[in-house]
A and B are shown apart, each in its own frame.
Chain A
Amino acid sequence: MAESDVVVKTQSLTKVYRDFWGRKKKTALNALDLTIHKGEIFGLLGPNGSGKTTTIKLLLGLLFPTGGDAFVFGEPAAKVEKNERIGYLPEESYLYRFLNAEETLDFYGRLFDIDPDTRRRRAAELIDMVGLSADKKRILKEYSKGMRQRIGLAQALINDPELVILDEPTSGLDPLGTRWMKDLILDLRKKGKTVLMCSHRLDDVQDVCDRIAILYNGDLQTLGKVSTLLEDAVRLEVRANKVKESPELKADLEAVFRKHGGELETVGHPTTTLEELFLKIVDESKARPGRRYLPPAEAAKQ
């Protein structure tokens, strides 16, 4: 990849939290070396306290590094001008609760010095996009957590950013909202945006990220493409259609695998994800108003 394609770069980025007297409390991030390229969706993974959010805060200049350096679009993280090309959605939607949706987007738009007409147009588009048109005059205090997350995302996109940083983007969202968010992230990639997200909801990351970094206790544990990292090179998966499970089938397969030096582990029907099931049911409910759960016996009668 060309150097011009590098959007985020950290060099031995270290953050040590100290107390009032300068005594070391915790090393939140230890010599992180990371490069994120243009157009990719990059996921930061790790348990609580692993340094994901600290990395993001260092990139945004909300924290100062104890050692090393961070660059965004080739500019040092402390330079505020770089923020013109960044959109940031914090973990919680830390917005002013006495403003309504329109006022919120107008305020953040003004921080980017966007001219009034563009600001209004973009605000209207984004409110529509996040599905809050009906609630745009309500103050944020009256919003549910999911609604606040949506308007938070809208404020992160008000400047049409090249880099979108999302800290726990699906936090507080229902499965529909989660799916919507994931689709939106994928859509951002289609538009050529770079996305850096951190989450501890692994399925979300797996669904959308191109590359991931796993942090543990401030240290980078692994880094690479999702597909590569998840690939199990020892095992082989075979899927077949219109075949019924039977002892004969199992015996035949065992023979085939033995012939090729391996052994059969399991034969069975694959399961779908809970998310898929949920979305399927919601779609059916929308398509058939009045649909309700029936015990298997009653369902069989119908």
Chain B
Amino acid sequence: MSSALFGILQLDKGEPLGYAHIAGLVQNWLEVAGGFGMLGLVVYLLYALRTPTDQSQSEKLRVPVSKFMLTCAALAVVSYACVGGLFALQAAGKTSFAGKPLAPPPVPPPPPGMPIVTPPPEVRTELIPLAWMVAGTFALLGIGEPFARDLAKIRRRNLTLGTAGVRRFGRSVASYAGGLLGPRRLVGLGAALGLYALLGVLVLAFGSDRLFGIYLGVCIVAVTVVLLGTLALMLFEAEGPVWAIAKLSFKEAIRSQLLWVFLLVFLPFLFPAQWFKVIKPSDELRVTVERADLVLTLLTLIPALLLASFYGIPNDIKNLNIYTVVSKPVEKFEIVLGRFVGYLALMTLVLLGLTGVSLVLITNSSISQRAKDETYKARVPVRGTLEFKSVEAKYRSDKTEFEGTNVGREFDYRKYIPGGEGAMQRGIWHFRRVPAALGTAQDDRVPVEFTFDIFKLTKGEQNKGASVSFRFVTHNARQKQPTGPGTWPWEDPQREKEYQERVKEASKRVNLGGARPGTPAWAELNAIAEEFGCFEFGSKEVFDYQVMGLDAPAGLFRNAMKGDPGTMKDPRTGRDVPFPRVSVYVKCETPGQLLGMAEPDLYLLEYEQPFAVNYVKGMFGLWCWLAILIGLAVAWSTYLSSVLSLLVVLVVFGTGFFTDFINDVASGRTVGGGPFESMSKLMKAEQPTAPSADTAGAKALGAADKGWSWVVRRVSKAFPDLQSFEWSAFVAEGFNIDTQYLVVNLLMLIGYLLPWGILAYYLMKSREVAA
């Protein structure tokens, strides 16, 4: 993926979800998981009706129906009835009830050519979402009650908090460690270490420094993984059945040899990409990181799927091992949890080891300076919003506001501004949030990075970029939309004049145009920017799709922090939003060139994090995938045979890669209509994109498609949104993965796995393992 494509990805998906979205996510989860919970509750109560709980105490114990559960079910039914009533009101044309709005305002469609971005979740206080959330909460409480009760019991057996637990853990570890290091094992370990040390000596003597670096790195990773593995086994030693089964799964997987075969087959592909083929210098790191990510994904997901589907519970049931486990004082869900924990722990270790090894290889490989400059970092960007402007609409020939030129490129989200000295078109980035740290940036400079697309109208000169000028202004130096040719004026002409005089005066003393951080000219530039809130960068030669940068004086941001910027109307939503503290006006100076830009293309650089830390953080997404995959496989294997479980997991997990498409189908946004309309067009050999005729048949098909969309909307939530956990593009492009994104990822993971866990609980509980 090039930086351009990364920009498109950002534009498509919007910023990843952070802490601000957690409340909205929880509300959303209660609605969705509650819907599935209600379905489960109905099925469970029907099952309980069929079970002879009145004749058998065993069955009563196995299929409990408490008053709490019945009350929750009744309340959920009432709440869902309210939702239905509110929908009926909405269908009747009402927009509010008892003075409260019924539903959130519809999201305005994006401008033509722009992607449909799903708005981030936020807490909705309108009546329908509220009633839906309440209904979902009751349904979840009802269906979750036996699960929670048994889980509390399992917790008591498997997790002793407090000093008693610590003492017990200590005893277990001591006992385990005592038995672990027998004389034969010590000799074996010593021999292995000796051999590895000998290899190290040989590498040091005959190999290069880089090779020795790899040797040392791999050594450190291996020792870390072995120590962590031992620690995991010791932890599993501590308490009850869940850990015992986890340890069993761990050992089973290790001794099955499946893992080792995969490791041996795929490991060579971890080596840097340029060892295999010639890559553009600037893309060396990108390609290497993406390849490593792919190899790690294959190396961990496939064995995890096979282990959890084939070696876990289905294998126990097939080989009847489960007889000897279930006949012990073990809750069936403890088997599910144990399997999940064991496989996840093992695959976590594998992922950790592979991440370490790939990182050692990447950091020790010969990567070009260009690639390092572009991507061997973890930028923490401050992003703004982009708008296009030119002279006021009434002074333009078409009497409309300039919204960027569309050059007709397919799949290109960028809009363009024409170049030329007298060009009045600007791409303007507004930064409403300006971190205070920018005002105190090191060397009084704030890096600004950008990647533009150049669309040439004339052939121009070879290997020559386009000249672009930048004007940075704060809310204290507001600009006015021009009415005719010339330059963009300030709102306060007197202040503009003072600024220009000051610049002129300073230019006599120092060379402001060539000011570099650390020079007197830079100090002068900072002083002017801090005083007037304006900084201009005359001409920067930019190249097509290349990450480039310039330094802005920190003084500008000190000025931006002064005063209250007030509010303004957001031209997109019409809502009041804070006036931007800093705006960057971009102008293309080269005639005959069009400069293409999209919102993620320019950003302020708050600071940079080390690449290695970002690389490890990026693997958290893969770990979440692993947890989802293992969770799904273990959940389904409670009821299905190994092959069926594998197939179902492949479908559910695999569909998770296409959530965008599923969402399009669910929202009826697919080109050519839904499946019924498309099928009709296909059979009649009609154009897929042509609108359907206004006939009764077409209307019936449209209604069927709407019904289908409704079903897909409900079912689609059962598929994991895997793209939300995908961070490899951030790492490959050198953008920092904020910790809050990972925290939200973790919450999403728990939110996704919990309903599957409840399903697995009921499936396992209702399964006759000896039938």
B-contacting residues of A (Cβ < 8 Å)?
17, 57, 60-71, 76-84, 86, 88, 90, 92, 94-96, 98-99, 103, 107-108, 110-113, 115-117, 120, 152, 155, 159
Contact residues in B for A67 (Cβ distance below 8 Å)? 52, 55-56
Contact residues in A for B251 (Cβ distance below 8 Å)? 98-99, 103
Contact of B330 among A70, A78, A80, A120 (CB under 8 A): A80
| B695 within 8 Å of A (CB atoms) | no
Q: Give Cα A110 to B769, complex, Å.
A: 21
Contact residues in B for A111 (Cβ distance below 8 Å)? 241, 244, 325, 328-330
| B240 within 8 Å of A (CB atoms) | yes
Contact of A107 among B59, B168, B176, B248 (CB under 8 A): B248
Chain B min CB distance to A112 (Å): 6
Q: Give Cα A86 to B172, complex, Å.
A: 25
Q: Give Cα A77 to B771, complex, Å.
A: 16
A–B Cβ pairs within 8 angstroms, 14 of them = A62-B326, A62-B769, A63-B771, A69-B55, A69-B57, A76-B61, A94-B324, A98-B251, A107-B248, A108-B328, A110-B241, A113-B239, A117-B171, A117-B175
Please state if A62 and B768 are interface contacts (CB–CB under 8 Å). Answer: yes
Within 8 A of A (CB), among B322-351: 322-331
Q: Give Cα A231 to B255, complex, Å.
A: 55
Identify which of A79, A98, A120 gathers the most chain B CB atoms within 10 Å of its CB: A98
Q: Give Cα A274 to B241, complex, Å.
A: 46
Chain B min CB distance to A148 (Å): 12
Contact residues in A for B61 (Cβ distance below 8 Å)? 76, 78-79
| B770 within 8 Å of A (CB atoms) | yes
Bitwise, B493-535 to A at CB < 8 A (1) or not (0) is: 0000000000000000000000000000000000000000000
Bitwise, B473-494 to A at CB < 8 A (1) or not (0) is: 0000000000000000000000
Contact of B58 among A64, A99, A152 (CB under 8 A): A64
Q: Give Cα A174 to B324, complex, Å.
A: 24
| B687 within 8 Å of A (CB atoms) | no
Please state if B172 and A116 are interface contacts (CB–CB under 8 Å). Answer: yes
Q: Give Cα A110 to B246, complex, Å.
A: 12
Q: Give Cα A128 to B566, complex, Å.
A: 85
Contact residues in A for B171 (Cβ distance below 8 Å)? 115-117
Contact residues in B for A90 (Cβ distance below 8 Å)? 320, 323-324
Please state if A116 and B321 are interface contacts (CB–CB under 8 Å). Answer: no
Contact residues in A for B322 (Cβ distance below 8 Å)? 94
Chain B min CB distance to A140 (Å): 11
Please state if A80 and B329 are interface contacts (CB–CB under 8 Å). Answer: yes
Q: Give Cα A81 to B247, complex, Å.
A: 22
Q: Give Cα A98 to B251, complex, Å.
A: 8
Contact of A98 among B176, B239, B252, B328 (CB under 8 A): B252
Contact residues in B for A78 (Cβ distance below 8 Å)? 57-59, 61-62
Residue of A with least CB distance to B766: A64
Within 8 A of A (CB), among B126-181: 157, 168, 171-172, 175-176, 179
Chain A min CB distance to B433 (Å): 54
Chain A min CB distance to B390 (Å): 70
Please state if A88 and B327 are interface contacts (CB–CB under 8 Å). Answer: yes
Chain B min CB distance to A269 (Å): 47
Are A60 and B326 CB-contacts (below 8 A) given A69-B57, A69-B58, A113-B240? yes
Residue of A with least CB distance to B239: A113
Q: Give Cα A116 to B324, complex, Å.
A: 20
Chain B min CB distance to A157 (Å): 13
Within 8 A of A (CB), among B212-263: 237, 239-241, 243-244, 247-248, 251-252, 255-256
| B462 within 8 Å of A (CB atoms) | no
Q: Give Cα A61 to B168, complex, Å.
A: 30
Q: Give Cα A76 to B251, complex, Å.
A: 34
Contact residues in B for A70 (Cβ distance below 8 Å)? 58
Please state if B768 and A64 are interface contacts (CB–CB under 8 Å). Answer: yes
Residue of B with least CB distance to A81: B329
- Give 6 new A-B contacts, CB below 8 A, not counting A63-B768, A67-B55: A62-B327, A62-B770, A64-B59, A111-B241, A112-B329, A116-B171
> Do most interface residues of chain B lie in helix, strand or loop, or is the interface mixed?
helix
Residue of A with least CB distance to B252: A98
Q: Give Cα A27 to B240, complex, Å.
A: 38
Contact residues in B for A68 (Cβ distance below 8 Å)? 55-56
Please state if B329 and A95 are interface contacts (CB–CB under 8 Å). Answer: no
| B319 within 8 Å of A (CB atoms) | yes
Chain B min CB distance to A27 (Å): 14
Q: Give Cα A29 to B261, complex, Å.
A: 48
Identify which of B179, B252, B321, B329 gathers the most chain A CB atoms within 10 Å of its CB: B329
Contact residues in A for B62 (Cβ distance below 8 Å)? 64, 78
CB-based closest 5 A-B pairs:
A62-B770, A110-B244, A78-B58, A116-B175, A111-B328
Are A95 and B324 CB-contacts (below 8 A) given A17-B771, A69-B58, A110-B240? yes
Contact residues in A for B239 (Cβ distance below 8 Å)? 113
Are A96 and B321 CB-contacts (below 8 A) given A61-B326, A69-B55, A110-B244? yes
Residue of B with least CB distance to A165: B327
Q: Give Cα A92 to B323, complex, Å.
A: 10
Q: Give Cα A94 to B176, complex, Å.
A: 26
Please state if A65 and B768 are interface contacts (CB–CB under 8 Å). Answer: no
Q: Give Cα A155 to B62, complex, Å.
A: 26
Contact residues in A for B157 (Cβ distance below 8 Å)? 113
Within 8 A of A (CB), among B33-92: 52, 55-62
Please state if A108 and B324 are interface contacts (CB–CB under 8 Å). Answer: yes
Contact residues in A for B324 (Cβ distance below 8 Å)? 88, 90, 94-95, 108, 152, 155
Residue of B with least CB distance to A141: B255
Chain A min CB distance to B160 (Å): 11
Chain A min CB distance to B713 (Å): 30
Q: Give Cα A17 to B252, complex, Å.
A: 33
Please state if B321 and A95 are interface contacts (CB–CB under 8 Å). Answer: yes
Chain A min CB distance to B260 (Å): 14
Q: Give Cα A117 to B255, complex, Å.
A: 26
Contact residues in B for A98 (Cβ distance below 8 Å)? 251-252, 255-256
Chain A min CB distance to B245 (Å): 8
Chain B min CB distance to A24 (Å): 14
Chain A min CB distance to B763 (Å): 14
Chain B min CB distance to A190 (Å): 24
Q: Give Cα A98 to B250, complex, Å.
A: 12
Residue of B with least CB distance to A156: B324
Identify which of A83, A107, A111, A120 gathers the most chain B CB atoms within 10 Å of its CB: A111
Are A60 and B327 CB-contacts (below 8 A) given A67-B55, A76-B57, A98-B255? yes
Please state if B319 and A94 are interface contacts (CB–CB under 8 Å). Answer: yes
Please state if A84 and B56 are interface contacts (CB–CB under 8 Å). Answer: no
Q: Give Cα A81 to B334, complex, Å.
A: 14
Contact residues in A for B60 (Cβ distance below 8 Å)? 76
Q: Give Cα A289 to B391, complex, Å.
A: 115
Q: Give Cα A103 to B56, complex, Å.
A: 38
Contact residues in B for A152 (Cβ distance below 8 Å)? 324
Residue of B with least CB distance to A104: B324
Residue of B with least CB distance to A117: B175
Are A61 and B319 CB-contacts (below 8 A) given A88-B324, A96-B248, A110-B241? no
Chain B min CB distance to A255 (Å): 61
Chain B min CB distance to A72 (Å): 10
Bitwise, B176-208 to A at CB < 8 A (1) or not (0) is: 100100000000000000000000000000000
Identify which of B239, B243, B255, B770 gathers the most chain A CB atoms within 10 Å of its CB: B770
Contact residues in B for A116 (Cβ distance below 8 Å)? 171-172, 175-176, 237
Contact residues in A for B331 (Cβ distance below 8 Å)? 80
Q: Give Cα A95 to B240, complex, Å.
A: 19
Q: Give Cα A69 to B172, complex, Å.
A: 40
Q: Give Cα A111 to B243, complex, Å.
A: 9
Q: Give Cα A86 to B323, complex, Å.
A: 13
Contact of B329 among A71, A83, A99, A115 (CB under 8 A): A83
Q: Give Cα A210 to B428, complex, Å.
A: 95
Q: Give Cα A86 to B157, complex, Å.
A: 19
Identify which of B57, B157, B241, B327 gathers the most chain A CB atoms within 10 Å of its CB: B327
Chain A min CB distance to B288 (Å): 38
Residue of A with least CB distance to B330: A111
